[in-house]
């Protein structure tokens, strides 16, 4: 085999590899990829100051939305802490991530209670509180389950609810469903990909 023929074979073999490298690489998310889903597209709920907020208020940031309640003993504080830790892991890019907490217990979660609660996880976390009817409508649109559960103490109750976060890219599009307990590093890795896209 002459040298020219050998070089042609090498070049022919390298061409597909080069083309594959030029192709768009699909992100490898830890969370469930919901890109293109027909639900959970937006919300319109008042924040703790009474201003109605929606996804467009956070354009340019990746947004992590979680439904919960302030008297939740474990799932809610763990999830909000993981969002805060993921932001820290991102370094300066952490400022491009917005945490949004939507209460499913507007009866007890007053604006004052909510404000104090989310401040534990970051001064710029946003808490939203609708009327019971607004809360039910938004939860239905997000396919979020929640239910009031009476306890043995008279007049006392807790809330059963879905335990996952919805993640939006900086253009405000729903992209990911982050399961409870995935950990801050997994969330940070997913957010990094959304911010770099």
Question: How are beta strands 126-128 and 97-103 bridged, if at all?
Answer: parallel
How confident is the model over 117-165, as pLDDT tens digits?
Answer: 999 999 999 999 999 999 999 999 999 999 999 998 888 999 999 999 9
Phi first, then psi, for residue 186 (nearest 5°) are -65, -45
Q: How confident is the model at residue 4 (pLDDT cuts 50, 70, 90)?
A: low
Q: Nearest CA to 84 among 123, 33, 29?
A: 123
Q: Check the annotation: does 72 bind a ligand.
A: yes
Q: How far is the C-alpha of 116 from the C-alpha of 15, rounded, in Å?
A: 59
pLDDT, averaged across the chain: 90
Q: Check the annotation: does 76 bind a ligand.
A: yes
Q: Nearest CA to 167 among 179, 159, 183, 158?
A: 179
Question: Do the beta carbons of residue 79 and residue 163 sit within 8 Å?
Answer: yes
Q: Check the annotation: does 22 bind a ligand.
A: no
- Give the containing element (helix H, strand E) for 195: helix 184-196
Domains and CATH numbers, the chain: 30-196 (3.40.30.10)
Q: Residues 30-53, buried b or exposed e (16+ Cβ, 10 A)?
A: bbeebeeeeebeebebbbbeeeeb
Question: In the predicted model, is pLDDT for residue 27 greater than 80?
Answer: no
C-alpha torsion sign, points 91, 178, 120, 128: positive
Question: In the predicted model, is pLDDT for residue 178 greater than 70?
Answer: yes
How much is the pTM?
0.85
How confident is the model over 44-81, as pLDDT tens digits?
Answer: 999 999 999 999 999 999 999 999 999 999 999 999 99
């Amino acid at each position: 085999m002459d040298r020219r023929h050998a070089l042609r074979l090498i070049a022919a073999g390298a061409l597909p590899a080069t083309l594959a490298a030029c192709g768009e690489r699909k992100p490898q998310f830890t969370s469930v990829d919901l890109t293109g889903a027909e639900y959970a597209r937006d919300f319109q709920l008042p924040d703790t100051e009474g201003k109605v907020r929606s996804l467009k208020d956070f354009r340019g940031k990746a947004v992590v939305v979680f439904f919960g309640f302030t008297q939740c003993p474990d799932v809610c504080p763990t999830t909000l802490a993981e969002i805060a830790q993921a932001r820290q892991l991102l370094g300066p890019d952490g400022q491009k991530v917005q945490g949004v907490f939507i209460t499913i217990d507007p009866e007890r979660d007053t604006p004052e209670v909510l404000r104090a609660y989310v401040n534990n996880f970051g001064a710029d976390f946003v808490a939203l509180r609708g009327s019971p009817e607004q809360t039910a409508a938004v939860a239905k649109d997000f396919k979020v389950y929640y239910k009031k559960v009476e306890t043995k103490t008279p007049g006392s109750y807790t809330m059963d609810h879905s335990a996952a976060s919805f993640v939006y890219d900086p253009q405000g599009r729903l992209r990911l469903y982050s399961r409870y307990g995935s950990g801050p590093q997994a969330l940070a890795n997913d957010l990094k990909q959304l911010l770099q896209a």
